[in-house]
Amino acid sequence: MKLLEEMIRKYGEIKNDEVLLVDSFLNHQIDPQLMMELGKDFVRHFKNKKITKILTIETSGIAPALMCGYLLNVPVVYLKKSKSKILNEELYETTVHSFTKDIDYLITCRKSFLSSDDSILFIDDFMANGEACLGAIDIIKQAHAQLAGIGIVIEKAFQQGNAKVSQAGYEVYSQARISSLEKNEIQFIDESAVPRTFCGIDR
């Protein structure tokens, strides 16, 4: 997505060869107009998937997910990074590892918000090693729901996330795919030469 790539080039801050900050427009300060364009792009891509719900993880995936949910007129559910003290037996839960913070954390979702009737689009802001995505897939499986697609705003394609998800049998649509952050320069994969296909999860 050229608009997103331009924003990353203009406002992204490279911290090292593996870490890129985009907190000026995506995950601290949020650009609402850009979020709407991201939502439109996801909707164009997944328009034939009969999506009933959008799923994301707090907090940075919420903004693009909300725009997508608004455009599709479906609810947006976000997985919490905490466990309720009053809903212990009413939660789907799993543990994921954060690449950025190098910690394990629990993600949870109230069982009444996902069901076997749902066709779910999972959206997240970043994909690095794919752990958050695989955690969300685990929650979707627990609910016996169907995964209609996986949408990622920024993928660090030089890390293992996409490979892990692909090896598990799923494919990913990423709006911007970064091939390198080395030498303090952002390099993108040219998507015009890369065909994309998608698959869902059988119940």
The per-residue pLDDT for range 109-145, each reduced to its tens digit, is 999 999 999 999 999 999 999 999 999 999 999 999 9
Is the CB of residue 150 less than 8 Å from the CB of residue 122? yes
Helix (H) or strand (E) holding 154: strand 146-156
| CATH code of the domain covering residue 48 | 3.40.50.2020
Question: How confident is the model at residue 198, as a pLDDT?
Answer: 38
> Does the residue 199 lie in any domain?
no
Question: How confident is the model at residue 150, as a pLDDT?
Answer: 96
Query: Which residues are documented as binding site for 5-phospho-alpha-D-ribose 1-diphosphate?
Result: 128-132
Question: How confident is the model at residue 194, as a pLDDT?
Answer: 53
> Does the residue 87 lie in any domain?
yes
Of 131, 77, 74, nearest in space to 99 by CA: 131
**Could you give the CA distance from residue 94 to residue 134 in angstroms, rounded to a whole number?**
10
For 97, the domain range is 2-193
Positive/negative CA dihedral, 55, 38, 98, 84: negative
In the chain, the percentage of residues whose pLDDT exceeds 70 is 94
Query: Which residues are documented as binding site for xanthine?
Result: 20, 27, 156
- For the segment 72-86, what is each residue's pLDDT rounded down to a tens digit? 999 999 999 877 777
> Does the residue 200 lie in any domain?
no
Question: How confident is the model at residue 196, as a pLDDT?
Answer: 46
> Does the residue 16 lie in any domain?
yes
Residues in the chain with pLDDT values less than 70? 192-203
Query: Which residues are documented as binding site?
Result: 20, 27, 128-132, 156
Of 129, 131, 124, 130, nearest in space to 106 by CA: 131
Of 78, 53, 73, 70, nearest in space to 135 by CA: 78
Give me the helices (H) in the chain, please: 2-11, 32-46, 62-72, 131-142, 161-167
**Structural domain total, the chain:** 1
Is the CB of residue 91 less than 8 Å from the CB of residue 79? no
